[in-house]
Structure 1
Amino acid sequence: MSKIGKNLENRVEELSFELSDGTPVVKLGLIATLYFKNGYTTEVKTSVMDCFRAFYEEFGAHLKGQIKDKYTKLTQQNLEKNVEKTIRTGPNEQYEWQLTSAASIYEAEEYGISTMNSRELHGDHAQSYIKIVLPWQLITTEEGLSRYNYWINFLSSKVNAEHGYGGLSTILPYDFDSYLPMEFELAQRYLGLDVDSMPHSLTIHLIDFIKGVNWQTVLGETFVQKLGGEDVLRQELEGHGDISIERYGHGLIIRAGHYPQLGAIEDGAPSSYLAVNKIVKSLRIPAPSQLHNYSPHGNCFEKDSTAHWYARFDGEVKNY
């Protein structure tokens, strides 16, 4: 196991939570979340379904169920049935679908892929998204790192991602409301944890802006050009040996270090994340909506704490 892996392993207990019956409701995981246009077209729906098929082909042994209106068991047969049904939906029909390793909507997953599309009547005023969840243990081997990097590139290319991000995140159940305070608390203690329990809530806000940076920052060609183009980006990041840039079909993936970092508050923000943020900060959403809705279960992200979270890599780190 890599040094990074051992460091994470030592923290897993404080990054996880189980109910008294042993049901895992908070986990550390690896994510990749991508936003893209034209999710209402047959062409893009077909590409998204290709992603679902590919994910099932590689990780199907871990997948137990699917969520589409309700949780049902997952089989090859009903997977294909839903794939074909989704491709045939009309341009103003919105669909949400998730394949998951969780045994119910009340359990946090280790493996998963989810999506929600936009509608034609909204045009370019709403994005679609696709997201995968994988075990954090992947980064403990070079083979696992390569698989993750393959998947973020594959998904970005298939859906012509406008922008996105990948890295460590708190994984909550599909029925996540009761556990938002835990996501809030952990995000205050670990700057590298992406707050991503509700990627669907950002689809109308991330049209002309990106969410921000994490271990991997995906920038479509439109955003690359806003920063001066690929050559300028490479030149500005040239002095940072731990930062790499990889091309996908529609843009660039900036990787802030070989491994993702938890960024414990006592250690400060990872320098590679700070460096990438400095370059792409101008693309970040200037007035983000709250990361959480109100929760009766405890403290969650409100307006001020949301603004602090988005600015966590801007320089000096302060407690929320």
Structure 2
Amino acid sequence: MTDLPFDPVKLMREHPEKMRIPGGLFYPHGPDDYIGAVPALSGVLFFHGGHELAVREAICACFDEYEAVAKAHLTWLWRAEPPVGPNKIAYPKAKPMRELMKQLSANHMVSFAYTSGKQSVDAGDWEFQVYGLQGWRAKMGDWGTSALRFAIPLLSLDDHPTLFQSMFVSFARRLHALHGYGGHALVLSAARSNENEAFEAYLGGMLNGLDAGDLIQAAADAEKGIKTVSWLTAVNYTMVKQLGGLDVLRSELPRDWFALYDYGDGLVVQAGPAPEGAPVESDGKPARLVLPNALFKPLRAPEVGMHTGSVNGEPRFAGWAAQHWLKRLDVEEEELMAYKNKLLGEPKLTPATTLPERL
């Protein structure tokens, strides 16, 4: 994790307050008195059927698994347009997800955001957020997909080097994921994400390995293709076939650096033993991100919604900037051999950093 411009593990242990980014930094009224963003490990999965009972049960099962680890850290539950009860409730007072899910008809949006900040508007590095497309929109066929995002602290990787991978593969299996990715990210305030997107764009311009963008906007474009590659990248078997099959992946992604995991409907690729921050000023294009990016480039969506437009001239990933972000790891085809040679000097996988069920 030393590829970041700071050592997050050391900072978390010695100065955790420095990892809490004040809200609204790029606004005239900022910084505000709440935590707007927190670095974390985050996994995102896109899937169909958020209005169906079986899929809603799968969402609950994912949260069961997450809650077993995160329960002591969760503090608030936010919901958008709940049919019963408030949109915000303290987590200890909230009914179990399954009970709340039963209140939703097929035409209600599934919307749960479990957060871990002290104040209800604070961002925290434990978060479980799910967005399920309403039945009527799903039937129309042009509203995109449902999506799930979960986050755990950076420090978790140091103490439990396969916890994140295990959750990601398990959730992909339960949800029959279309595709997804996981690695470094910022968890933004669930209640005030819009006014913290600017800092995400700012930091995302410095770190090519950092995810960025709104979950619901990304879900709207998820049927068009994948958004990005990351430390973990999930692709369904139809996509694998488009690339030439499993043998092509094994040939292009050497097993000393890349692990493949079957999740039932597709594969998860793990690139290296730990996620890459990929700071632009030093090594913004590590081989273990560039090579899968080149391989999966034919699967990439032509455009993906990320941020809303700038209000006060603050940075945002919108329009051209969003398109540029999608291409941030691209290299010319004639450069790929140099990156294959570069890979030889990058950290290899170890038994301690991979799941035992790798292919």
Matched residue SS, 1:34: strand
- Which of 140, 146, 149 aligns to 1:128? It is 146
**What is the CA–CA distance in structure 1 between the aligned matches of 2:19 and 2:72, rounded to whole Å?**
25
- Pair 1:137 & 2:155 matched: yes
* Paired position in structure 2 for 1:179: 196
**Partner SS for 1:91:** coil
Matched, 1:314 2:330: yes
* RMSD (Å), alpha carbons: 2.3
Please, which of 54, 69, 84 is the counterpart of residue 58 of structure 1?
69
Aligned 8 A contact 2:3 2:278 in 1: no
* Matched residue type, 2:8: L
Seen in structure 2, the aligned counterparts of structure 1 residues 236 and 21 have a Cα distance that, compared at 3 Å, is closer
Structure 2 distance, partners of 1:224, 1:84, is 38
Superposed CA deviations along residues 229-257 of structure 1, whole A, max 9, x for unmatched, are 2222112223x631221111221111111
* Secondary structure of residue in 2 paired with 1:189: coil
1:304 Cα offset (Å): 1.2
Instruction: Give the counterpart of 1:159 among 159, 172, 175.
Output: 175
Q: Percent identity?
A: 22
Q: Which amino acid aligns with 1:17?
A: I
Could you tell me how far apart the structure 2 residues matched to 1:220 and 1:173 are? 31
- Residue 214 of structure 1: CA displacement? 0.9
What residue identity is the alignment partner of 2:71?
G
Residues 68 and 137 from structure 1, CA distance in 2 versus in 1: closer, same or farther, beyond 3 angstroms? same
SS at match of 1:54: helix
How many residue pairs get matched?
308
Partner Cα separation in structure 2 for residue 99 and residue 273 of structure 1? 30
Q: Deviations over 1:122-169 (max 9, x none)?
A: 23532111110110112223xx22111111011111111110000001
1:228 aligned onto 2:224: no
Q: Which residue number in structure 1 is paired with residue 127 of structure 2?
A: 112
- Where does residue 342 of structure 2 map in the other structure? none
1:224–1:79 distance in 2 versus 1, CA, 3 Å: farther
Distance 1:233 1:113 in 2: 31
Check the 8 A contact 1:42/1:87 in 2, yes or no: no
Pick aligned residue for 2:88 from 71, 81, 84:
71
TM-score (structure 1 length as normaliser): 0.88
Letter in 2 for 1:138: S
1:24-35 equivalences under 5 Å are 24-35=35-46
- Counterpart of 2:303? 287
Which whole-Å CA distance do the structure 2 matches of 1:235 and 1:78 have between them?
A: 49
Structure 1: distance between partners of 2:154 and 2:146: 25
1:214 aligns with 2:238: no
- After superposition, give the CA deviation of every residue in 1:153-200 in whole Å (9 maximum; x if it has no partner): 11111111110000001221111222221111101111111004x111
- Report the Cα distance in structure 2 between the residues aligned to 1:10 and 1:263, rounded to whole angstroms: 18
- Structure 2 CA distance, aligned partners of 1:105 and 1:227? 44
**Separation in 1, partners of 2:222, 2:296:** 15
* C-alpha distance in 1 between matches for 2:249 and 2:161: 24
8 Å contact 2:77–2:94 — kept in the other structure?
A: no
Alpha-carbon deviation of 1:78? 2.9
Q: Which residue of structure 2 aligns with residue 8 of structure 1?
A: 8
* Contact persistence 2:20–2:38 (CA under 8 A): yes
Q: Distance in 1 between matches of 2:203 and 2:156?
A: 21
The CA deviation at 1:204 is 2.1
Distance between the aligned counterparts of 1:136 and 1:63, measured in 2? 16
- 1:266 is paired with a residue of what secondary structure? helix
When structure 1 is superposed on structure 2, of 200-209 and 120-129 the one drifting more is: 120-129
What one-letter code is carried by the residue in structure 1 that aligns with 2:233? Answer: T
Cα distance change, pair 78–218 in 1 and its aligned pair in 2 (3 A): same
Question: What code does the residue aligned with 2:199 have?
Answer: M
Would the aligned equivalents of 1:192 and 1:264 in 2 still touch at CA under 8 Å?
Answer: yes
Paired AA for residue 176 in structure 1: S
Contact kept? 1:42, 1:88, Cα under 8 Å: no
Change (3 A) 1:216 1:106: same
> Which residue among 22, 37, 46 is the counterpart of 1:18?
22
SS at match of 1:158: helix
Q: Where do residues 79-98 of structure 1 align in structure 2 (5 Å cutoff)?
A: 79-80=95-96, 82-87=97-102, 89-98=104-113
Q: In 1, Cα distance between the equivalents of 2:246 and 2:11?
A: 37
Distance 1:26 1:300 in 2: 15
Instruction: Write the letter of the residue equivalent to 1:127.
Output: T
State the partner residue of 2:348.
Answer: none
- Give per-residue Cα distances to partners, 1:39-89, cap 9 Å, x unaligned: 1111111110111222222210011111114221112x7332x42231453
Once the 2 structures are TM-superposed, how far is the Cα of residue 10 of structure 1 from its aligned partner?
6.6
